C-alpha cells in the first residue's frame, strides 16, 4: 500500500470519527440540556419530644435539622435560620460556636451562630452559618445536630419550630419540609 492511499484512508477515518463525535454530542445535548444545573437543597427536621405535666420536670425537644444537597454542585455559603414561635419562655441550646463562647470543646462543630446586621433580627429567629472549613458536597447531607429546646411545666405552652436554608442562589430562603409543633397543658392539678 502506498503512502498516498494510506493518507486518504486515515483522513477518511478522521472525518468519520469527527462525524461520530458530533452525533454523540448532539444526542447528549438532547438528553441533557446545556442549562447549568441550579443547585437544589432539601431541609427537614428529625426530632423527639418528651413532655411532662410534673412541675418539677422540664419538657424537651431534641432535634436535628438535616440539609440535603440534591445537585451535582458544591455549596460553599450555607446559612440556616431556626424560627421559634412560643407562648412562654424557653431555653435553646445546641452544638454551635458564638462570638463570645469559643472554647476548645466547641471546635468540633460545623456551625457558627450570628446575628443579622441589617436590623431585621427577630428575638425568635436564630441564625447559623456553616463554618469556612466545611462545604456541602454534591448529594451530601449535613446536619445542625442535637439542638435542644426546653421549657418548664408551669402553664400552658405552645411552640412551633420552623427551619429555613439560605445560600447565594437562594437568598429568600428555602423552607424546611416539616416543622416541629407541640402544645402542653402545664402543671398537674
Q: Give the residue extent of every domain in the chain.
A: 1-35, 41-184
Average pLDDT over residues 156-178: 92
Share of the chain above pLDDT 70, in %: 86
Cβ pair 68, 152 in contact under 8 A? no
15-52 pLDDT, tens digit per residue, is: 888 887 788 877 777 776 555 556 689 999 999 999 88
Nearest Cα neighbor of 179 from 168, 163, 165 is: 163
Cell of 126: 436564630
What is the domain class of 41-184 according to CATH? Answer: mainly beta
- Sequence-distant (6+) residues with CB within 8 A of 174 are 41, 42, 43, 164, 165, 166
107-151 pLDDT, tens digit per residue, is: 567 899 988 766 555 788 999 998 877 889 999 999 999 999 999
Amino acid at each position: 500500500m502506498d503512502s498516498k492511499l494510506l493518507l486518504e484512508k486515515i483522513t477518511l477515518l478522521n472525518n468519520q470519527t469527527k462525524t461520530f463525535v458530533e452525533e454523540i454530542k448532539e444526542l447528549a445535548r438532547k438528553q441533557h440540556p446545556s442549562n447549568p444545573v441550579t443547585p437544589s437543597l432539601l431541609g427537614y427536621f428529625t426530632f423527639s419530644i418528651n413532655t411532662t405535666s410534673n412541675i418539677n420536670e422540664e419538657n424537651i425537644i431534641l432535634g436535628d435539622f438535616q440539609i440535603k444537597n440534591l445537585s451535582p454542585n458544591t455549596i460553599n455559603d450555607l446559612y440556616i435560620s431556626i424560627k421559634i414561635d412560643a407562648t412562654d419562655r424557653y431555653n435553646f441550646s445546641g452544638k454551635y460556636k458564638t462570638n463570645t463562647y469559643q472554647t476548645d470543646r466547641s471546635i468540633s462543630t460545623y456551625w457558627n451562630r450570628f446575628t443579622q446586621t441589617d436590623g431585621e433580627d427577630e428575638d425568635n429567629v436564630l441564625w447559623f452559618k456553616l463554618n469556612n472549613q466545611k462545604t456541602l458536597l454534591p448529594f451530601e447531607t449535613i446536619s445542625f445536630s442535637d439542638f435542644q429546646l426546653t421549657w418548664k411545666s408551669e402553664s400552658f405552652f405552645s411552640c412551633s419550630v420552623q427551619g429555613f436554608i439560605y445560600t447565594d442562589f437562594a437568598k429568600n430562603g428555602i423552607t424546611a419540609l416539616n416543622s416541629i409543633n407541640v402544645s402542653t397543658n402545664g402543671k398537674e392539678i
